[in-house]
Amino acid sequence: MWGRFVLTAALLPLTMAAYSPFPSPATPTRIISTATDNAKSIKASAGQLYGLVVVNTTETIAYLKFYDTASTPTCGTTTVAFTLPIPAGSAGAPLTPSFPVSGVTFTNGIGLCLTGGGAESDDTQATAGVFITVLWN
């Protein structure tokens, strides 16, 4: 038979005001795509990717590729950590994929490319008009 379980303040040492799911504040980096592969180094050392907001105002699908690298990736050559297809014409509806509260770990650094093709070896230019906000630490 189960007994009653009573929560007391002694069992709950954290208050909501003191609790944050992130080890420290996430830094936002904003990118507006141009007609290139949009290669960018977000962080040149180990870090965490906590969130992402993307709006594609164009009529062409784009592919956001993340790289575990300390330098600006060479799109089409550097090994891709993961790829997110960005739907065409999202008309203001942002793509906000879910990430673990602990973030996605990059051991060397965080880099990205935005290309017109989804293959890992693709380096096709994306079109201008994709708005990206990356939340990282």
Q: How far is CA 80 from the centre of its chain?
A: 13
User: Which SS3 state, helix, strand or coil, does residue 116 take?
Assistant: coil
Q: What are phi and psi of 26, to 5 degrees?
A: -80, 145
Q: Residue 88 class from Cβ within 10 Å (0-12 exposed, 13-18 middle, 19+ buried)?
A: middle
56 sits in which H/E element: strand 47-56
Q: What is the pLDDT of residue 62?
A: 95
* Closest alpha carbon to 80 in 117, 131, 125: 117
**In the chain, domain spans:** 29-136
* Architecture label for domain 29-136: Sandwich (2.60)
Count of helices and strands (H, E) across the chain:
0, 8
**Residue-level pLDDT, tens digit, the chain, 137 residues:** 444 444 444 444 433 344 445 556 789 999 999 999 999 999 999 999 999 999 999 999 999 999 999 999 999 999 999 999 999 986 668 889 988 888 999 999 999 999 999 999 999 999 999 999 999 99
